[in-house]
Amino acid sequence: MNNTRIQLISGPRNISTALMYSFGNRKSCHIIDEPLYAYYLQLTGADHPGKEEIIRSQSTDPEEVIHDLTKDNYKKEEVFIKNMAHHFIGLNPIFSLDFKNIFLIRNTTEILTSFSKVIPNPTIADIGIKKEWELYNYLIEKGDNPVVLDSGILLENPKIILQKLCKLLDINFQQSMLSWNPGSRKEDGVWAKHWYKNVHKSTHFKNQQSTPRILRENLKHVNEEAYIYYEKLLDKAIKA
């Protein structure tokens, strides 16, 4: 079967898992959760929760992973691949030209305040926003036409934004994308227990009521640089 292969490239502590669940609710779509995570941990030695279990759960050979993503004959019409931008370290991203690409972004102040609760002193490399900008420009230069999606805009207008997204991906919008059952999914990576607690409680896209995001002093210099790349990509994002 000739599948429509859609690659999400996101930063951490975004709504990437909710978006994966949204696509997973399409009857025509097979979803894949962060297939390059074990490769990234093996390469960098990054100290993430459940690190050894993650490395055991997936191939750490990027060529094998990429071959499977681009060559496997999936049984459904569409394949949605959730990838993290910072997992692309050391990779030639040319394989992304085989996919329809979505860059998912979020205000970097919000990312850093959330991510630093799990990873205490994140760098700009850890949150992937600079890498997203680099990958976006690489794809543009290669003649690709990637879509940029801002999570804040999506959460304010989920139906409108998803309808526009589907049109840009040349797939039909399905009402089932707007909600999902609470709890885990069989496609979740083994890291779900460390990172997916909130999305497992959710049933749809919804802005969370939260306290003001107060950035720790030692992260302000990271955010100053990161926010520049966020604004560059935000300028390209789908608007309601």
Per-residue model confidence (pLDDT) at position 210: 55
Distance CA 31, CA 49 (A): 23
Closest to 106 in 3D by CA, of 211, 16, 14, 215: 14
pLDDT category of residue 177 using cuts at 50, 70 and 90:
very high
User: Averaged over 145-171, what is the pLDDT?
Assistant: 97
User: Averaged over 68-87, what is the pLDDT?
Assistant: 92
pLDDT category of residue 213 using cuts at 50, 70 and 90:
low
User: Averaged over 25-37, what is the pLDDT?
Assistant: 96
Indicate if the pLDDT at residue 39 is higher than 90: yes
pLDDT category of residue 56 using cuts at 50, 70 and 90:
very high
Q: Residues 95-142: pLDDT tens digits?
A: 999 999 999 999 999 999 888 888 888 899 999 999 999 999 999 999
pLDDT category of residue 13 using cuts at 50, 70 and 90:
confident
CATH code for the structural domain at 4-234: 3.40.50.300
Per-residue model confidence (pLDDT) at position 34: 98
Task: Enumerate the domain spans of the chain.
Answer: 4-234
The helix/strand/coil state of 240 is coil
Per-residue model confidence (pLDDT) at position 43: 97
Per-residue model confidence (pLDDT) at position 209: 55
The alpha carbon of residue 96 and the mean position of all alpha carbons in its chain are separated, in whole angstroms, by 14
Per-residue model confidence (pLDDT) at position 1: 54
Indicate if the pLDDT at residue 2 is higher than 80: no
Closest to 87 in 3D by CA, of 42, 52, 122: 42
